[in-house]
Structure 1
């Protein structure tokens, strides 16, 4: 699967020399788990359809009732069509420097003991609706006017969200420029029971699959395929022994694409079929 460099892929010549950039993304086909190398921080204002984003430690799905702020870096996203087989999302990209300029002007560093999430969800309201309408008007204006006014509109948006979400939003913005690097082992253990493939987990770790496997074996003294399979099958056995769920209820969330593959792996490991439990 190819890696999509965004927002560069949305520009005709692929070159981006802006601190702020608006793009209207319209689709008529569903895209599942696109590998995205996001080179700018991004607000995603979903208008029609649903969007799911996978990060190393979690995933999130939003519809047109919410917007989402996504940090630059590697992620996987799926764009799901609405009933009318359409998907429409207004994207606002901003550079690190643009963010730093805002923080220096409007944010005093907070001391927060809370874990900072991988994304920030915004509940849409009448202000957001009016704001998006104003962005549409700006994008239809002359280039020089657009660049100057967009800088003002970006500051306006962040000030509004700052007033709405207080320190939670400030701390999230600060985390974007002071992002702590988590350990390889932590990242792996956040995905023990995820539906992501090894290749997808490697991508989120910003590694090739071969490099990922070398790091994994060094850390765990076992190949990632065997390690993940063992962890997931032991978890499945525990769940089934509780008697509340069947194999058909759990195979997807434990990383198996179909019930038959799960049943075969389970029987090979424990000598009995999941249904016997």
Structure 2
């Protein structure tokens, strides 16, 4: 699957990407684990449908009652239609330059940041609904007018969320300009319990699959496929032994396409079937 460079794909080839940009995304087909290189921080105001995003060390899922503020970088997007067979999301992209200008103007927090999570969930409310309506009318105006108004609308939104969420939102904003990269080991071990494929984990590490395998073997002295399978089967065994979830309810979560393959791998690893592990 090709990598989508967002928001660049929404512009003409020679068109310069502005510091602030709004795009209304409408779809009539589900998109599952699309590889995205997000070059700007982004508000994702989900209005119809469901969205899940996998990052290097975590994932998040929201519905139309929630919106997301996403940190720029590589991620995997899953966007699912609603019962109305449509997906609709208003995307508001902003550059690091605009973020730093806002922080300098309205906050005094210059201490080292400790927040590492790459997203913030925003609860949709009457203000957000009214705000999105105001954004929807802007495309009809002149380019200069829209650019100037977007600057005002960006500050308006940020100030509202700063007032609503306080220190939590301020700390998150500072985390967006923390460029400390995640290590391969950290990313791999945070995805043991996910159902991501090796290629997808490599993408989250900003590596090709071959480069990822080479670095993995150097780090763990074992192939990534075997290492992940062993770790995931061990986790599956622990869950089954708790007696709350059946094999048929967990095999997808551990990267297996069907229960039969999961059962064969499980028995080869432990010498007994997953049904026998379930208490």
Q: Smaller-chain TM-score range? A: over 0.9
Contact 1:22 1:139 survives alignment (8 Å): no
Kindly report which structure 2 residues correspond to 1:63-212, keeping only aligned pairs within 5 A, or say none.
Answer: 63-109=63-109, 111=111, 115-212=115-212
Q: Give the C-alpha shift of residue 112 in structure 1.
A: 7.3
Give SS of 1:252's match: helix
Post-superposition CA distance 1:29-50 (Å, at most 9, x none) = 0010100011111101111111
2: CA distance, partners of 1:126 / 1:19: 27
Residues 13, 181 of structure 1: alpha-carbon distance in 2 compared, 3 angstrom cutoff: closer
Aligned structure 1 segments of 4 or more residues deviating by more than 6 angstroms: none
1: CA distance, partners of 2:115 / 2:72: 18
- Could you say which residue in structure 1 is the equivalent of 2:216? 216
Structure 2 residue runs without a partner (length 5+): none
Q: Give the C-alpha shift of residue 181 in structure 1.
A: 2.2
2: CA distance, partners of 1:173 / 1:148: 22
Give the TM-score of the pair, scaled to structure 2.
0.95
2: CA distance, partners of 1:198 / 1:172: 30
Structure 1 residue runs without a partner (length 5+): none
Q: CA RMSD in A?
A: 1.5
- Could you say which residue in structure 2 is the equivalent of 1:227? 227
Give SS of 2:68's match: strand
Contact 2:7 2:40 survives alignment (8 Å): yes
- Could you say which residue in structure 2 is the equivalent of 1:255? 255
Contact 1:53 1:75 survives alignment (8 Å): yes
Post-superposition CA distance 1:162-204 (Å, at most 9, x none) = 0111111111111111232232211111011111101001001
2: CA distance, partners of 1:161 / 1:84: 30
- Could you say which residue in structure 1 is the equivalent of 2:18? 18
Contact 2:5 2:37 survives alignment (8 Å): yes
- Could you say which residue in structure 2 is the equivalent of 1:60? 60
- Could you say which residue in structure 2 is the equivalent of 1:267? 267
Q: Give the C-alpha shift of residue 110 in structure 1.
A: 5.6
Contact 2:28 2:85 survives alignment (8 Å): yes
Post-superposition CA distance 1:49-108 (Å, at most 9, x none) = 111111111111111111101111100001100111001111111111111111111121
Give SS of 1:88's match: strand
- Number of matched residues? 277
Give SS of 2:176's match: helix
2: CA distance, partners of 1:167 / 1:11: 35
Residues 250, 163 of structure 1: alpha-carbon distance in 2 compared, 3 angstrom cutoff: same
Is 1:49 equivalent to 2:49 in the alignment? yes
Contact 1:20 1:92 survives alignment (8 Å): yes
Give the TM-score of the pair, scaled to structure 1.
0.95
Contact 2:40 2:71 survives alignment (8 Å): yes
Contact 1:116 1:171 survives alignment (8 Å): no
Contact 1:40 1:93 survives alignment (8 Å): yes
Q: Give the C-alpha shift of residue 109 in structure 1.
A: 1.6
Give SS of 1:128's match: helix
